[in-house]
């Protein structure tokens, strides 16, 4: 993957609607931004026949420096862990090269019809390994 092909990063301006009375971005807005970055990243996965559905198993955010209205935030998605049925992501949110927050997201693969956890497909697992730090 070259710099021109990067889809594990995105930039966005912090919207006024996401600002609280202290002039900082709402805590929940960090999670929303991280989900947007992860959805953009995930849209580039390889096609897998019979791909399972994915559901949120866990989401956690560590705050480091507050973001404010009109800040330019850079988000980078990394694959943190690959389990049998789960994949963990770390989304780093930075402003001017400094870490503002780190969001950890764990997705679980499941069969929609049976409603059971299932193994990650090998092709998808292989693709994910390219994004481990």
pLDDT band at 85, cuts 50/70/90?
very high
Q: In this predicted structure, what is the pLDDT of residue 133?
A: 82
| Domain residue ranges in the chain | 9-130
Give the whole-angstrom CA distance, residue 108 versus residue 85.
6
Of the pLDDT bands very low, low, confident and very high (cuts 50, 70, 90), residue 7 is: confident
CA distance 107 to 86: 6
Mean pLDDT across 42-71: 95
| Coil vs helix vs strand at 74 | strand
The conformation of residue 71, written as its DSSP 8-state character, comes to -
How far apart are the C-alpha atoms of 104 and 20, rounded to whole Å?
23
Residue 114, phi-psi category: left (phi > 0), alpha (psi -120 to 50), beta (remainder): alpha
Q: Summarize pLDDT for 96-113 with one digit per residue, the tens.
A: 999 999 999 999 999 989
CATH of domain 9-130: 3.10.129.10
Of the chain, the percentage scoring pLDDT greater than 90 comes to 87
What is the pTM assigned to this prediction?
0.89
The average pLDDT across 11-23 equals 96
Cα(62)–Cα(26) distance, integer angstroms: 13
Q: Would you give the distance in Å from CA 53 to the centre of its chain?
A: 16
Backbone angles phi, psi at 66, to 5 degrees: -70, 145
Taking the alpha carbons at both ends of the chain, their separation in whole angstroms is 14
Q: Is the pLDDT at 5 greater than 70, yes or no?
A: no
pLDDT of residue 93: 98
């Amino acid at each position: 993957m070259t710099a021109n092909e990067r889809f594990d990063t995105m930039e966005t301006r912090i919207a006024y609607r996401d600002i609280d009375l202290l002039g900082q971005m709402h805590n929940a807005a960090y999670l929303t931004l991280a989900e947007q970055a992860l959805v953009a990243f995930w849209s580039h996965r390889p096609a897998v026949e019979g791909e399972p559905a994915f559901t949120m198993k866990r989401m956690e955010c560590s705050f480091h420096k507050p973001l404010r209205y009109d800040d330019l935030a850079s988000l980078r998605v990394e694959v943190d862990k690959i389990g049998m049925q789960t994949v963990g992501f770390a989304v780093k949110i930075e402003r001017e090269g400094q870490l503002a927050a780190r969001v950890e997201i764990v997705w679980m693969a499941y069969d929609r019809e049976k409603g059971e956890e299932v193994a990650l497909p090998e092709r998808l697992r292989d693709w994910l390994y390219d994004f481990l730090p």
